[in-house]
Amino acid sequence: MKKLVGNVMLTAGLITGAIASARNPPLWFAVGGALFIMGAGIVLRRQGEKEELHRNITKGEGGEVELKKILENALTEIETVIKEKETDLEKARKRLGKVLETLETFAEKAQPLRIKGIKFYGEIMTSFSKAERHLNRAWSAYADGYIREGDTYLESGYAQLRETSKLLKSKS
């Protein structure tokens, strides 16, 4: 609720400030009031976001356990892709596509990690984004028939995803 009220206050302050400052001469008192309302809206919005993150953690959504499970499943599937690509590249590419689809939820589910600190969250997401980018490049290279390039990016993405998993486990 705080997030919604904060968004409304921020929007109202922005519109009021724009109208008051567009006048000739500007209505400085109204501009100041609009800035105050916008500031209060930002504070409420941040408080609401923090409360939402805490609620998600207590409900068990997006916690570290769930993220570790997503990563472990993805690593297992990628190991299967590595073995499978030797015999059936098309099947391996489809399996890699499914892995990438499941990894799409990781960033959303990782939001509660921000409670532990932005540095921790940043380290996890930096490592994860590198892995995801390399796995996407591997999929694309396989789709275009560049098998050696695909192999390189697949191994690199796999290693980076393992690094993400290690970071998540070590910081828990």
Give CA angle at 162 (85, 132), nearest 5°. 70
pLDDT at site 159: 92
- Going residue by residue through the chain, which has 172 residues, state the pLDDT in tens, using 9 for 90 and above: 888 888 899 999 999 999 999 988 988 999 999 999 999 999 988 888 777 767 766 666 556 777 888 888 888 888 888 887 767 778 878 888 888 888 888 877 777 777 777 888 888 889 999 999 999 999 998 888 888 898 899 899 999 999 988 988 886 5
Tokens of 53: 């993150």
- What is the value of pTM for the model shown? 0.65
3-state secondary structure of 85: coil
Instruction: Judge whether 149 and 136 are in contact, CB under 8 Å.
Output: no
* Torsional class of 84: left (φ above 0), alpha (ψ -120 to 50), beta (otherwise): alpha
Query: What pLDDT score was predicted for residue 63?
Result: 66
What integer pLDDT is reported at residue 32 of this predicted model?
Answer: 92
